Structure 1
Amino acid sequence: MEMAKSQNCVSSLPVPVKKIWLDLIPPRIEIFTWFAMMGKINSKAKLLSLNIIRPSEALCIFCNATIECADHLLLLCEFSAGIWNWWLNLWGLRWALPGSLKDAFDQWAISGRNSFLKKVWRAIFSIIIWSIWKERNSRIFDNKSCSIAQIQDLILTRLSWWISGWGDPFPYTAAEIICNPLCLAWKSSDGAIKGPAIPSPPKPWSPPRNATLKWNVDALVSSSQSMSAIGGVLRNHKGVFMCVFSSPIPPIEINSAEVLAIFRAIQISMRYENIRSNHLEIESDSMNAVRWCNEDKGGPWNLNFQLNFI
């Protein structure tokens, strides 16, 4: 009976490939979305069908009540459904969850003429399932877990980093999106929708010189959730998206977190020949972090290794 239940999780309908490959998120997450809708990810149901694990080991890590197939894990589990409903509640929407991830993808749309919000809506589908999958793996393999609020912040943080690779002059940072997610309804013609005051939006992205690559790095520190994260986007002088990174870090002061983001960007650049063979620019919105990195000495003592490396 358990095996039959796991097999029913795979939809027999074709996956709408063209709606996935939109260059809104990193390719590996587009591929993950495609595999998830086909039921091809290494869920416990799949491992059970291959006799790799026992039936007693195949239950969902979140609810511990149902065989973990892709549809249950990423959509139907009470834990995952709560994350979907959180996103919908932000926009005052209600949705009866479909029976499969593919059906959910087919129905996933936002009405109106705001083209930027429509891109956000399409991207967030993959970001949500990717974030649930990352949380699942963290609980299984690292014995670590995030709260629902922390996962929600990570979803918005990932979205903000990947928005910066779209080429739209979106003016808000990750911290501002977390404080006021409704700023995602921004329109290029008339600015943001009305909502809580948002401080000093940064300037739109400016391209580097020819034959130069440019990193835009950012950091997020949430004192209320005791969490921090860093990320960066690399583009060439034409604005073509070349690389992205994102990573949680231990709770830390915001300027120090920006230094870690710069440090990580340089590490990645040195590792790959097609990056390190170019001139590089690194842009951060922290004046303190930039000053510490450019001075021969100074900055927090606990960042001596990173600053010396930079």
Structure 2
Amino acid sequence: MTGISDFKTPAGRTRYFEAYDRAMRDCPEPDAALDVDSRHGTTRVYRYGQGDAPPIVLLPGLMNTSASFGPLIPALAAHRQVYAVDTLGEAGRSVQTAPFQDIPDRARCLEDVLAQLELRDVHLLGGSTGGWHAFNQAIHAPDRIASISALDPTTVTAKFSGSTQWYSVLTMVLNQDWVWRRFMRWSAGADIADRPDVRLVLAGIRNYRPRVPFQVCPSDDEIRSIRVPVLTMFGARSVVHDSAVAASRLRALLPQADVEVLPEAGHYLFLRPDDRARIVDRVLTFVQRQDQAAR
């Protein structure tokens, strides 16, 4: 495809980064903020924590940023280094300078970032579209990854629901706060529209023009080709897709995957404290098991 993602207007860029700074104030202070060069631009990465164990790399959802992982970072970084990525080509502090040609290009971009950081045997952890990116990496550029964990990943083994597609059109056409609040309440199962990280997503949607290949479900053969260990957790109450179908298809296509459905969780999988604690425990146990198996 052609075109490079960027802000629609200078004023919109200013509004967006005001929202970005507010959201980041709710996150732990990073040990380092890194701007990493790749063939497609510069990717902003935040580093947290210490230790020699293979790190966890966080991949946020669509038009989201590192700020979305604020509730998880302290518990994860207490055990090993964590790198949080602002996805190149979407709103955030990453800056795209060359167009993406296809979906595998997005995996090559992250491969470049991991190479520049000299990271190997990393454990990817992605939420929503970030989960799709984790699977995309495992399919197209798996050499530097030891495992992937995905939290209610979208468009991996199930398409977006019809209601999600309808809401997406409605919100983009009307673009009013009340519509976005209603959408957020519907998708999250709670009124979260005033949270700084959620306001940041809305600021990105309104002020940023992405030019990236749209995410589509990998083929069955592509999913079957994955050789790295996989942990996937779905929200039973997720409305953005049919999570029961998504979990069932993943178990069928990738029998070796560890697949769990959280009975009370929606698409925002770590919104509830109990689910958040469960996710942290499952992810840390899973990645430690992979580290031990690799020795």
TM-score between the two structures when normalised by the length of structure 2: 0.27
More helix as a share of residues: 1
- What is the TM-score with the length of structure 1 in the denominator? 0.26
Q: Which has the higher Rg, Structure 1 or Structure 2?
A: 1
